[in-house]
Amino acid sequence: MTEAVEGHVTTEIVMLNPETVRGVSNMTSQEFIAALMSRLGGMNPEETGGFQEAPLAFDAVWALALALNKTVAPLKGRGRRLEDFNYNNHDITSEIYRALNTSSFEGVSGQVVFDAQGSRMAMTLIEQLQGGSYKKIGYYDSSQKNLSWFGNDVWIGAGPPADRTVVIEEYRFLSQKLFAAVSVFAGLGILLGILCLTFNIYNGNVRYIQNSQPYLNNMTAVGCMMALAAVFPLGIDGHHVHRSQFPVVCQFRLWLLGLGFSLAYGSMFTKIWWVHTLFTKKEEKKEKKKQHLEPWKLYATVGVLLAIDFLSLVIWQIVDPLHITVEKFTKEAPKEDLDVLIQPLLEHCSSEKMNTWLGIVVLWSNLMAQNIC
């Protein structure tokens, strides 16, 4: 127990003015104690009840006397006297209370002042248990809002213990190993797309390539590369860029992924739609095979699909633009420090009606994917 209580701090009202100041009674605190000891006639102060509180009682009597003196003139002006006081006379009671509440004088216990509720605003003594005995380490004067600190406080450890749990905000970032691994696969996919695109352009005069609509193939390859390129801004967070630059990263994510999906699947949808309409009508099968396909119709179809997505994204960014949002998770308590809590934070892109806009984009994408299937 001795080890547990060592260093704790206590506070109590200062009952005796520590300064040598002659108060309203024309006595200093030291003179008052000397006079009190003389009255006790050699009795042990520790065995005398109320000895420590005597300065407070002495100043309380003075406060009442001064307050009664202050009420004489106001009561006389209203034709009243203190001798007329009784517990049913509210006028005299209110005047006495007002006089007491506005009292302010120097007493043997310190500055005597009362707050709005009538409580004594006394100085507070701050003590600390050091080596088994209490040592004075400071005073606080609530009336003057002044703290006097002696600087002789002693603490176990580096400094004073925390008066509250310290919450440390800690941002959570994407694992760099995971980001690097996914980026490598995305880069390989982009490289494969470049090879396919190069092969398609280089062999553009080959009949089989011409019959497979090479321009749509090129659009599919470019769209896939754009969607794969979105992996890089998706993995960028506050670990890589400043907070002020994060909204730009949010835009790159949205536009690369959105337009890449539209271009890739839009061109695939156009090819499948053309093949479907060309070979499913049995009664017109031979005539359809002989017809010459007009490429501009296919490109126009891809353009319409791309324009719908582009318009959706433009409206989204004008009406409800993306911005950085910090999400807070449940606080975590580290094992090594009981006075600290970790507040995990995660930065991500969001807008006011994020779910609504994502619903529109996903619904349109699903409709396109279903048509492809």
Cα dihedral across residues 286, 289, 294, 299: positive or negative = positive
Q: What is the pLDDT of residue 372?
A: 47
Contact 186, 228 (CB under 8 A): yes
Please give the single-letter amino acid code of residue 267: S
**371 close to 273: Cβ distance less than 8 angstroms:** yes
Q: For 271-321, how does the pLDDT look when each residue is reduced to its tens digit (9 = 90+)?
A: 777 777 766 654 455 554 545 556 677 777 778 778 877 888 888 888 888
Of 313, 315, 303, residue with least CA distance to 267: 303
Q: Where would I find the beta strands (DSSP E) of the chain?
A: 9-13, 104-107, 110-113, 123-130, 133-141, 146-149, 166-171, 323-328, 340-350
Positions in the chain whose pLDDT score sits under 70: 278-295, 337, 364-373
pLDDT value at position 184?
93
Question: What confidence score (pLDDT) does residue 284 get?
Answer: 55
Tell me the pTM.
0.52
For the chain, how far is it from start to end, CA to CA, in angstroms?
77
What residue segments make up the domains of the chain, in order of their start?
2-161, 169-277+293-371
Chain mean position to CA 97? 47
If you write DSSP's letter for every residue of 106-143 in order, what string do you get?
Answer: EETTEEEEB-TTS-B--EEEEEEEETTEEEEEEEEETT
Q: Tell whether the torsion through CA atoms of 345, 350, 352 and 358 is positive or negative.
A: negative
Contact 133, 125 (CB under 8 A): no
Integer Cα distance of 337 and 320 in angstroms = 43
| CA neighbor of 322 nearest in space, from 348, 351, 293 | 351
